[in-house]
Amino acid sequence: MSETMTTTSVLSSRDRRDHVLARLGYRRMEHRVTPGLYRLGRPDRSSPVFVSANYTLSFDALRSALHGIDAHILVLDTKGINVWCAAGKGTFGTDELVERIEATSLKDHVDHRRLILPQLGGPGVAAHEVKARTGFSVEYGPVRADDIPAYLDAGATEEMRRVTFPFRDRAVLVPVELRNISLGAVAAFALMLFLGGIVPALIVLTAVLAGAALFPLMLPWLPTKDFTSKGVVLGAVVAAPFALYYLLSVPGWTGLAYAAGTVLLMVPVVGYLALNFTGCSTYASRTGVREEIFRYIPALVAMAVIGLASIIVTILGSILGWF
């Protein structure tokens, strides 16, 4: 019989620091636990077997939800990726599950042949193939780990099966999004502040904050279906005050060109950041994201090029006396 590891349902201050660093994207791929079979509490041969990813937030969410429950936890090697994303990438998948069952000699630790997987891991696992290759049947637990105790008592309800993406879950992703674009955003802000003054710098700041922070918070209330088109709508809204400023403060064609260029630059920036958010959301599928990329990226690039060209031509025209 292979050796097992032990864990508890109590999160330490070190665990919570790890969660904060993971949310901030610090050393993103290093937030992982050792794959293998863990004993939680005092499990016996009839205790349930839960399956988890080896991303610390996934593993910790499961074990903390199992407070007071004796269980086995089979941790797959998902390369430090959460269950939902790993299922899409294939690391939380059929082959890895089968290999981990065999590597841990799971049959020697339990008498039953039942595995409880997180529902969001479903896309990566072929349950019938796992059954045929290992003898273990696969059932899917609730979407959220907090519902596991009730699930063990009475089974899954419709509410447990429903995937939601509430305000709190969206808000917790904002620091990661901001961190991912922080260096480029700071550089662009400083450059615009140096070249054009406070208004162009504020345009950069507004576009970044709208796409990376305001968009996820407002996601359910923005019109249209696709993420990019939602971002385009939001980009047009936040660009409007700056366009109006140029129309009112800069006379003639110059003000019109600045206004148009501002809209044509801000809209694709916010739209692109919104498209990027599909990787954080349970709203989008892989095929849907792919279709959205091919549908909108050419248009976003064209808008940005036209907007930048109009501003450059206007500046050169003002310098050379064309306008």
83 plus 53 within the same structural domain: yes
Q: Work out the average pLDDT over 21-34.
A: 86
pLDDT per residue over 107-130, tens digit each? Answer: 999 999 999 999 989 889 999 999
Residues 202 and 312 occupy one common structural domain = yes
Could you say which DSSP state residue 224 is in? S
Q: Which of 134, 163, 192 is where one domain is finished?
A: 163
Please indicate whether residue 4 or residue 111 has the higher confidence score (pLDDT). Answer: 111
Of residues 284 and 252, more confidence is placed in 252
Q: Indicate which CATH number applies to the domain containing 123.
A: 3.40.50.11600
Do 97 and 175 belong to one domain?
no
Pairwise pLDDT comparison (165 vs 322), residue with the higher score: 165
**CB 22, CB 57: distance < 8 Å:** yes
Q: Are 209 and 261 in a shared domain?
A: yes
Where a domain ends, among 145, 163, 181?
Answer: 163
**Confidence category of residue 285, pLDDT binned at 50, 70, 90:** low
**Which pLDDT does position 90 carry in this prediction?**
85
Q: Residue 322 — very low, low, confident or very high, per pLDDT cuts 50/70/90?
A: low
In the chain, helix, strand, coil percent, each to 5?
A: 65, 10, 25
Annotate 38-100 with three-state secondary structure: EEECCCCCCCCEEEECCEHHHHHHHHHHCCCCCEEEEECCCCCCCHHHHHHHCCCCHHHHHHH
pTM for this model (two decimals): 0.77
Q: pLDDT value at position 281?
A: 66
pLDDT digits (tens, 9 = 90+) for 235-262: 999 999 999 999 999 888 889 999 999 9
User: Is the domain of 51 the same as that of 158?
Assistant: yes
Instruction: Out of 121, 140, 163, pick the residue that ends a domain.
Output: 163
Lookup: tokens for 247: 């129309």
Same domain, 150 and 54: yes
Please report the pLDDT score of residue 70 as a whole number: 97
Q: Are residues 35 and 179 in the same domain?
A: no
What's the pLDDT at 216?
92
- What pLDDT score was predicted for residue 284? 65
Domain that holds residue 229: 168-320
Residue 97 has pLDDT above 90, yes or no: yes
Q: Are residues 190 and 315 part of one domain?
A: yes
317-322 own/partner pairs: CB under 8 Å, 24+ apart: 317/254, 318/254
For residue 162, which phi and psi values (nearest 5 degrees)? -80, 130
Compute how many other C-beta atoms are within 10 angstroms of the C-beta atom of residue 199. 15
Instruction: Give yes or no: residues 195 and 78 share one domain.
Output: no
Same domain? 173 vs 69: no
- Average pLDDT of span 29-52: 95
